[in-house]
Amino acid sequence: MQELAWYLTVLLVAATAAVFAMVRWQSDLAADYGGVQRSAYRIRDRLFWVLLGVGVPIMALTLWDLPYVRAGAPAAPQVVTATGFQWYWDLGRTSVVTGQPVEFQITSADVNHGVGLYDADTRLLAQAQAMPGYVNRLRYTFERPGKYRLMCLEYCGLAHHDMISELEVKLP
């Protein structure tokens, strides 16, 4: 999905650049205002219908994958407290089970940290800020068992690169 979004973005940026270039090249031409206005309104009307025809299906497809709780009674979350220190994470528990939501309660004891949750392939799954005096809540449901890492995303000092903790996700 991300790759498709990337290609669509590149395509739309190129199309926008082409429109700007065309406007610039034609800006020196003399033309009757009424004809230009009618032409512009026709283009605007067509573009509206194209955007509507493309945008609504894209919106429907991408909103389907949002990480929100589906209808029905949500399961009680497994709570993992995560406190950032220079330069380690203190986790309240180091294992959870698949299929049940996990609520990470994230804070910091010293400076701001960013926490990233990574899978075994080092893909970022979720992220949040860890700030002193404030608890951020991050919910995520693990679908596959394995070892997952919590890594700091915000430079917090000399040993920032070693600020890694591991969470084991097991089958129920």
Gap between the Cα atoms of 145 and 150, Å rounded: 15
- Average pLDDT for residues 145-153, to the nearest whole number? 95
Q: Per-residue confidence at 101, pLDDT binned at 50, 70, 90? A: very high
What band does 140 get if pLDDT is binned at 50, 70 and 90?
very high
- Is the pLDDT at 121 greater than 90? The verdict is yes
| C-beta neighbour count of 172 within 10 angstroms | 8
Question: Is 73's pLDDT higher than 70?
Answer: no
Residue range(s) of every CATH 2.60.40.420 domain in the chain: 78-170
Please tell me the number of Cα atoms within 13 Å of 147 on its side-chain side: 6
**Residue 64 above 80 pLDDT?**
no
pLDDT band at 36 (very low <50, low <70, confident <90, very high): confident
Tell which wins on pLDDT, 80 or 58: 80
Topology given in CATH for the domain delimited by 78-170: Immunoglobulin-like (2.60.40)
Q: What's the whole-number mean pLDDT along residues 51-63?
A: 84
Q: Which residues, in sequence order, are CB contacts of 121 under 8 Å at separation 6+?
A: none
For residue 82, what are the contacts with CB-CB under 8 A and spacing of at least 6?
89, 90, 91, 92, 104, 105, 106, 107, 115, 130, 150, 165
Which pTM was predicted? 0.60
What's phi and psi for 84, nearest 5 deg? -90, 130
Residue 165 confidence (pLDDT): 95
pLDDT at 72 over 70: no
From residue 3, alpha-carbon distances to 9, 10, 11, 149, 159 in Å are 10, 11, 12, 24, 33
Identity of the residue numbered 127: Q
